[in-house]
């Protein structure tokens, strides 16, 4: 087996989490691998003293296994992407575009790891920088999307968007989504954006409930640089990153979004098929007719 230091990040209240965690631990220990747990997984195993904070676990491992749903994997990716640690997602959630390997496929996964016959799907991430009064106040890297939107009670907001310093326009909308191809099946899809093949080199800009119906989603190159300036005052506006981290925004804050130097490597089974995943997850009907 190529991997000898296995880390686990677990959604603690997921159904079957403890059972699968115990099973995989036994498998990897028998294969003479070292096994490490984040604090939630260690607590689930009733050995909290063995838990490692998520922001430290990447220094111990060469493979991360995530037991949960897409939200758990997005959280885990923040902590390992800069160390180029591949991620294997086991779906204990519901939809599971990122964690698409099922419990029924565990034996197959182990065989693929043993024979090194798995596939690595390298995914684009976006560097997102927030500037206020010409000073950078924060930056993040996202795998799915960066979303600027208003609170439930706020009025429509004005967002000026440029691509490579060229004006794309001023959007009057509930907000705007900048998505990677990986994130094209998430919030961007719900906002009317297109589905992109996950390894394509592109980004999507999708307005959320625009005032002008002619404001449509647009696909641009991942080499482009997007800048979005908030031109609405006295409204509650938030930048949300991968649906998990929120940053309150102020009037004339500038959000710069560009391709990150890091990527997220997802381990897939050799027979993995993105179109089959779409048909299954989005209920697109039978794969063929007789």
Active site residues: 70
Cα angle at 103 between 100 and 107, to 5 degrees?
Answer: 105
Strand-pair partners of 169? 161
**Residue 209 — φ and ψ, nearest 5°?**
45, 60
Contact between 90 and 106 (Cβ < 8 Å) = yes
Please tell me the distance from the alpha carbon of residue 154 to that of residue 216, in angstroms, as a whole number.
22
Q: What separation in angstroms does the CA of 171 have from each of 121, 126, 148, 159, 239?
A: 34, 21, 12, 5, 16
Between CA 171 and CA 168 the distance in angstroms is: 9
Q: Taking Cα atoms as reference points, which of 190, 178, 189 lies closest to residue 222?
A: 178
Question: What region, left, alpha or beta, does residue 209 occupy, with left being phi > 0 and alpha being psi -120 to 50 degrees?
Answer: left
Q: Which backbone phi and psi does 289 adopt, to 5 degrees?
A: -110, 145
């Amino acid at each position: 087996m190529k991997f000898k230091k296995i880390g686990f990040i677990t959604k603690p209240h997921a159904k079957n989490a403890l059972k699968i965690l115990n099973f995989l631990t036994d498998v990897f220990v028998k294969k003479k691998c070292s096994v490490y747990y984040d604090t939630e997984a260690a607590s689930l195993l009733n050995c909290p003293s063995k838990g490692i904070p998520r922001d430290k676990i990447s220094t111990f491992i060469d493979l991360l296994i995530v037991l949960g749903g897409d939200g758990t994997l997005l959280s885990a990716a923040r902590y390992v992407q800069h160390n180029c640690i591949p991620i294997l997602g086991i779906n204990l959630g519901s939809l599971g575009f990122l964690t698409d390997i099922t419990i029924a496929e565990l034996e197959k996964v182990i065989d693929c790891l043993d024979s090194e016959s798995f596939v690595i799907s390298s995914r684009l991430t976006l560097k997102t920088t927030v500037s206020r009064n010409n000073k950078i106040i924060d930056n993040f890297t996202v795998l799915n999307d960066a979303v600027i939107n208003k609170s439930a009670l706020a009025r429509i907001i004005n967002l000026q968007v440029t691509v490579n310093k060229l004006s794309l326009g001023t959007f009057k909308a509930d907000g705007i989504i900048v998505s990677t191809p990986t994130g094209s099946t998430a919030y961007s899809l719900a906002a009317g954006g297109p589905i992109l093949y996950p390894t394509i080199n592109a980004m999507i800009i999708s307005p959320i409930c625009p005032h002008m119906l002619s404001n449509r989603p647009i696909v641009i190159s991942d080499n482009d640089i997007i800048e979005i300036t908030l031109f609405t005052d006295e409204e509650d506006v938030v930048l949300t990153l991968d649906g998990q981290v929120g940053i309150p925004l102020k009037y004339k804050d500038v959000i710069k979004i560009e391709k990150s130097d890091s990527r997220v490597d997802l381990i897939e089974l050799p027979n993995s098929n993105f179109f089959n995943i779409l048909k299954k997850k989005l209920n697109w009907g039978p794969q063929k007719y007789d």
